[in-house]
Structure 1
């Protein structure tokens, strides 16, 4: 059973509707310049702003950015604290631009496990941009795809055990709706910077038919021109979705 309506196969000249990016390489960017890692993260926030603006201008409806994974808690406490501080400043300094430009902010991941003041800021930012016409910038915070999928399976199992759900009705459509990120469309193009070639537990369900693009540029050096080049590469792909 097919849950997600798939576009016709062929070239992707129309461009991707949903672009997801694994923003990798902040630490290496700083190390190459003999700077502390926080300097790379600060530069990475600047790249976020540039790419978000470019995505809007390039007609991308959804831009999902992997900002903090559920595994990133394993990093040194000082670095985690710095990252959360940068997130606070990003929300404080950029929410007015989101409102002015009609951009919606959305979050995937268990962001409510963050500090209460940060949770309140995020809730306020999402509420203030909820009625904006779009595009949507989605920040993945405290996110892990395997945990998201397991949580959806658990909730469906609980409903079936309680007798409120017939297991025979569970298909891809229902499962997708149960995912915390179920309102997102499928990922068309997934980009990872810094030359690494892995998905790192990011949007595994949504990226089932995504075109994957691994680029050598470190995230702080990725900008609007780099995003436009990625869309150009996407346009050359043949998307068959299992067909011919």
Structure 2
């Protein structure tokens, strides 16, 4: 019995992208509480975005799509915890283990993809502001659906490589975990660096314009002062010459 339980535990530890041990009493209490709070928080945030018309913007649409994908991931994790903590069902874990593994990897991929989608949308807002304003909610919905389709394909590939090939289980899981961790981080860093570069370039060009404009204003003011002094000198000299001319004429 203990050997079967340890084997099941080892299989489940490879089942999800981020595994948290539930053997300790503290984790047995904390993980269900955190799962409930995650489900409640994501549900409330999603309902707030849907109900408040002021939040019906492109950015909050991407946030809502991200919340939905996170909600699916948290629910799957909650199912995993409930089944694992139920001693009576432990022997039957393998009945849904394959589906659970693939579905959890797919939902995690969807969450990571929607994080990249949100960061890319903010980058597009900064760099291509005019094109960003022309985006419609239908286009954003299509992008979100495409990300979910890619996530399903990702889960399917994982299922095939994990259960229908001779590849080592640890290597397969490590590759998929590395993909889920490294690729989104690299894309997010790329978008962030590009956005910072564009912001610095725009701010530098604005400073040049401002400094150039101020220099032109200073030059114009100095020229006006010089011209006014020249005119005053000319007028003064003409006034000084007029009495002398009158004196000579007399």
> TM-score band (shorter)?
under 0.3
User: Which protein has greater RCO, CA pairs closer than 8 Å, 6+ apart?
Assistant: 1
**Greater C-alpha radius of gyration:** 2
TM-score (norm 2): 0.26
Higher helix share: 2
TM-score (norm 1): 0.27
Higher strand share: 1
